[in-house]
Amino acid sequence: MDLLWRWMEQDLALARRAPFTTRVYLSSARAFAAFHGRHPGDMGQAEVRAWVDHLRGIPMSPQRFRQHLSGLAFLYRKTLGRPEVVSFFAWPAIPRKLPAVLDLKEVAALLEAVPHPTYRMLFRTMVATGLRIREACRLRTCDLDPARGLIRTVGKGGAERQVALPAKLLKALRRHCRETRPVAPWLFTGRLGRPLDPDHARRVFRAACRASGLARRATPHALRHTYATFLLEAGADLRVIQALLGHASIRSTEHYLRVSTRLIAKAPNPLDQMPG
């Protein structure tokens, strides 16, 4: 069965799925095979239905349930070429939560609580550009275009985009390179000269949240949400924000309209137009 998992991993790489997605899909497919004790190629819709019924009896979030289904869907549709086996799948809706947005005082306190200068600069770059954690960890010096004030990055699915490179951030990055001497071509490297690991960066962020006394639960993605909400409240067009964030759909960008307290407070009210 090892050959099947190698094939699936190769197919996921060809589909440009993120490393986290690859791990989750492979884990879900292996759990299905272990549940039946058989090779997935020898099973069909009846076995898949039995697995889905089993999953329904396990307490889990709708998102985790979707991940299990997505892993099997990829296995049968792509790697095994038998889409009919999973044709009955119905995807449970995931309630959309409001993104965590920090105010600038919270961001400043959080950055101050990061003890290592490289990680402090990493998070500072994220809040100034809206980059995802993986995008920021793999920034190279050649991705910076000081003449045009732009940063080139590669996001989900291998899609390239450009984000703004503010002069203040460029100055800070140059100082960072002089002081920490990252190993080329990367901007942020660890002790072994490799790009920072996103998972370790998340742990550093959590520790800084605790050290700064941040009352709300937040992840590094909150810095991206903060950047987007700041742009929205400053009057940036939604289409511009969509391009900067690399959203495939404008619906993802419109989500920030729900958390902009400044815009909500300024919304016109019918009572204002009524007498008395």
pLDDT at 18 (0 to 100): 81
Instruction: Give the model's confidence band at 132: pLDDT under 50 very low, under 70 low, under 90 confident, else very high.
Output: very high
Q: Answer yes or no: 224 catalytic.
A: yes
pLDDT at 63 (0 to 100): 85
pLDDT at 260 (0 to 100): 60
Amino acid making up residue 86: V
Q: Which residue has the higher pLDDT, 134 or 247?
A: 134
Q: Which member of 25, 76, 119, 256 is catalytic?
A: 256
| Dihedral of the alpha carbons of 29, 44, 51, 76, in degrees to the nearest 10 | 30
pLDDT at 133 (0 to 100): 94
Give the model confidence (pLDDT) of 170-211 as tens digits: 999 999 999 999 999 999 999 889 999 999 999 999 999 999
pLDDT at 271 (0 to 100): 40
Give me the mean pLDDT over the 27-46 stretch.
Answer: 96
Contact by Cβ (8 Å): 88, 49: yes
Q: Which member of 25, 224, 225, 227 is catalytic?
A: 224
Q: Which domains does the chain have, with CATH numbers?
A: 2-86 (1.10.150.130), 104-264 (1.10.443.10)
pLDDT at 93 (0 to 100): 72
Please determine, for residue 27, whether its predicted confidence score (pLDDT) is greater than 50.
Answer: yes
pTM of the model: 0.70
Q: Answer yes or no: 156 catalytic.
A: yes
Q: Which member of 17, 120, 134, 247 is catalytic?
A: 247
What is the DSSP annotation of 227-271? HHHHHHHTT--HHHHHHHHT-SSHHHHHGGGGT-HHHHHHS--GG
Q: The dihedral of CA 176, 179, 182, 188: what is its sign?
A: negative
Give me the mean pLDDT over the 269-276 stretch.
Answer: 50
pLDDT at 261 (0 to 100): 56
- Reading the block at residue 140, the tokens are 């190279």
Q: Answer yes or no: 247 catalytic.
A: yes
Q: Which member of 120, 132, 134, 225 is catalytic?
A: 132
Q: Which member of 156, 161, 206, 255 is catalytic?
A: 156
State the alpha helices, DSSP H only, in the chain: 2-14, 19-36, 45-56, 62-74, 104-112, 117-129, 133-137, 167-180, 198-212, 221-233, 238-245, 250-254, 261-266
